[in-house]
Structure formats: structure tokens, C-alpha cells
Amino acid sequence: MSKMIITVLGKDTVGIIAKVCTYLADNQMNIEDISQTIVQGYFNMMMIVDISKSEVKVGQMAEDLQKIGEALGVKIRCQSEEIFTSMHRI
């Protein structure tokens, strides 16, 4: 289990991606894919992140990112990729 999906939802504000990316870089997590849209001022981002080189535990990572989101006033979720592949891929 080395890939995580990070989603950010909320009102657009300066520095959302910067804050998230800084955290990932500080913890040796590599971004493999990133997509982002802004619809009517609402920020919607999804990242696929490889964390195989990181020493941070998955649960801890989810908690840290959630806190970063709270500080920015957006909702950040970080989930193992498996829940999505299980549900949407046969």
C-alpha cells in the first residue's frame, strides 16, 4: 500500500497547493498526478501520491493533512488508493 489519494475541497484561497506540497516534500512523498478545477470559487483538487519512500505512517499522514486543511479552511482527505480501485475496478 504505497499510493495515497489526496482530495481537497473548499473555498479557493492562496497557497493551498503550496502548503500540501511542502508537507509532501518534507516527508519524501512523491506526487504522481495532480488535477485541479475551480468551479464558482470552489477549489477541487485530487493528487495521487507515492509514499513508499516516506517514513510517516498512513494514519498519521491523514491526520496531518486534515490539520493543514483545517488551518486553510478547506477539507483535505487522504485515503489509500485501494478503496477507490476496489470500488471502481473489477
Partner 1 sequence: MITSFEVLETNKMIEQEMLDVRTITMGISLLDCCDSDLDRLNEKIYEKIVASAKDLVQTGDEIGKEFGIPIVNKRISVTPIALVGGCCCKTPEDFVTIAKTLDRAAKEVGVNFIGGYSALVSKGMTVAERNLILSIPQALAETDRVCSSVNVGSTKTGIDMDAVKLMGEVVVKAAELTKDRDSIGCAKLVVFCNAPDDNPFMAGAFHGVTEGDRVINVGVSGPGVVKTALEQVRGADFETLCETIKRTAFKVTRVGQLVAREASKRLDVPFGIVDLSLAPTPAIGDSVADILEEIGLESVGAPGTTAALALLNDQVKKGGVMASSYVGGLSGAFIPVSEDQGMINAVNRGALTIEKLEAMTCVCSVGLDMIAIPGDTPASTISGIIADEAAIGMINQKTTAVRLIPVCGKGVGEIVEFGGLLGYAPIMPVNKYSCEAFVNRGGRIPAPIHSFKN
Question: Three-class SS of residue 71?
Answer: helix
Residues 31-50 within binding reach of partner 1 (CB under 8 A): 33, 35, 44, 46, 48
Q: Please tell me the distance from the alpha carbon of residue 47 to that of residue 7, in angstroms, as a whole number.
A: 6
Q: Is 30 in the site for partner 1 (CB under 8 A)?
A: no
Neighbouring C-beta atoms of residue 29, cutoff 10 Å:
21
Select the residue interacting with partner 1 from 14, 18, 39, 87 (CB under 8 A): 87
Residues that bind partner 1 (CB under 8 A): 1, 5, 7, 33, 35, 44, 46, 48, 58-59, 62-63, 77-88
